[in-house]
Structure formats: C-alpha cells, structure tokens
Amino acid sequence: MPPLRGDLEVLRVLRDRRGTRPGDRGDPHRVALVVGGGGMRGAYVAGMLHALDRAGLRDGVDEVYGSSSGAVSAASFLTGRADAGAAAFPEDLASPAFIDLRRLGTRRPAVSLDHLVDGVLDGTKPLPWEVLRDSPVPLHVVATDAADLTPHVLTALDTVDDWRRGLRATAAIPLLTGPPVQHAGRRWVDGSVGEPLATARALRGGATHVLVLVCRPEAELHGDVDAGPSLWARALDRAVPGLGSLAQGARRYGADLRLVTDAAHPGRGPGHLLALGPVRSVGIGALSTDARRVADAVAVGDESARAAVASRA
C-alpha cells in the first residue's frame, strides 16, 4: 500500500468518473488535482501522473494546480503527454545541459530554463501548447511574486508565448536560473517559494475533492513542521530572496500536508482531501543529475500511483 493519507473518497470519485468529461458529469463534485514541485524530485510526481493517465483518471479531474516542476508535469498530463513528461526527467533533465552548478558565477545559469522550455518542451518532448491553452480543464500555474515572495496564480496566459513564459516563471529558482521572469507587469520566481502545495487554494476555489501529489517520501519530510525557518535559511533569504525558503522544502511540505491529515485543521472546511506520496525514497534531491536514480524515482512514482488506483479501500 502506498502512503495514501486522508480521505479515500477522492479516489472513489475519480474511479467513478472514468470516461466522463467536464460538463458531462453525473455528480455535483468539483475535483482538483494539486501537483507539488520540487525540482528533480518532481520525477516521482511525473511517474504518478503517467500512471494516473494510463488508469483513465485524467478524465475525472475538473482543474489542476501546479507549482514549479509540478506545473510543467501537469501541463504534460493535461495535454495527453504524461508519458513524455515522465520520460523527460531521466532522458533530458538529468544532465549538465539542464543542471550544472559549475556554471555558478558565470554568465550562464546553473539551471537552464532555456533547455527546459526550448530544448525539451519545444524540442525533444514537444508539448502541444495550443491544446494546453484551449484545455477545458484549466491549469492554474502558481508562481511567487519576487517583490514580496507572495504566491499567486498566474493570469493573462492567453497565447502560446504566455504559456511558455508562465512555465518559465513558476520554475525560476532564485539565483540558479538567473533573474526573475517578467510576466504581466510583475517579476516572478519559483512557485514553491510561496506555495509548495496549493491545496488550500484549491479549496478556496470551490473544490470539493482534492488529490495532492507529493514529491517527497515520508522519510524525507521534516518532523517538526512548526519550528519555522532555520537561521541559515533566513540568512540565505536575506541574501537571495526565496532561495532559503526553497531550501526548507521538507519542513514546508510537512506543514502543507497537515491540511490533508488533520481533520480539525481550520483551513479545511468540508472538503475531501487525499495525498499520495512515493512509496519509498531513491535518494535524489532537487538538483540531482544521476539519470539512473532519476529514472528509479519515475518508476517509484508510477508504482505508487498504480497501487493507489488498484486499492479497494
């Protein structure tokens, strides 16, 4: 059994909705999929999305929220390219072309958004941008305003170029990818800086059932989610706003997951919430370039989602 936490009613509704589409439902529910980011740890989630797509559960979702690499994988999922989104992690992203910390201090970014968007999404694993733009199931891309580090859903994603810019914005890691991404008159950085998991946002938007995909195994979540940011993280945020927050991902993911696991959480309300995480760790981090380990993470994510779908709980 994979680490499913929360209300299994969410899975039941998704199973019952197989073969339906928005506007053609037989139930009153609004089902949201929340896809967490985490750099190369997103390989776990990409594997989950591929498994959910093969199981026919993509048709049961009414809206998707994604931050950072989770938004990129969600775009592949929504456009029927979850297979390519999963394959991209070991085949295209676990490489120095994408991540090379030796480029720090040079004119080239240590993490290349050009490689992600131009080389992969417009190249080796082409994303059908027009399908994403016109999708009846909206993708709400979460990014962080560089001015005050508050999270927002990006608006004015009206053209293919807007969508390219939006996915760059949500994946713009402070310092490592270069300057913030300009969009709609503001400067944006990685969505996980302000909101690793947009579960509360999905509930505020009217979702009755929320499936949350988590890119960190249980063993990699911080045990003390109330401790607040560490001294070194606060110092890092002062030097490079947002980078310290990203570095505290284990703690912040744990805090966000409390909304799912605590039935008395004040932000929960009547919603049905279920979180799915990797069944085990393969030992990768946000900046991993070991293609074998990254491929293992995709496989673990796939295995975790398949087991969840097959469970009859």
Q: What angle do CA 149, 85, 189 make, to 5 degrees?
A: 15
Can you tell me whether residue 72 is helix, strand or coil?
helix
Residue 296 a catalytic site member: no
What distance in Å separates the CA atoms of residue 70 and residue 189, rounded to the nearest whole number? 14
Structure token digits, residue 204: 């505020």
Query: How far apart are the C-alpha atoms of 106 and 95, rounded to whole Å?
Result: 18
CB neighbourhood size of 219 (10 A): 9
Where b means 16+ CB within 10 Å and e means fewer, 229-249 reads beeebeebbeeebbbbbbbbb
Tell me, yes or no, if 304 is annotated catalytic: no
Which one of 68, 69, 245, 304 is the catalytic residue?
68
Spot the catalytic one: 62, 190, 256, 302. 190
Q: What is the DSSP letter of 99?
A: B
Q: How far apart are CA 180 and CA 299, in angstroms?
A: 33
Looking at the chain, the number of H-run helices and the number of E-run strands are 13, 9
307-to-2, 12, 35, 106, 225 alpha-carbon distances in Å: 6, 14, 18, 45, 28
H or E element in which residue 188 lies: strand 186-189
Residue 150 burial (C-beta neighbours within 10 Å; 0-12, 13-18, 19+)? exposed
Active site (catalytic) residues: 68, 190
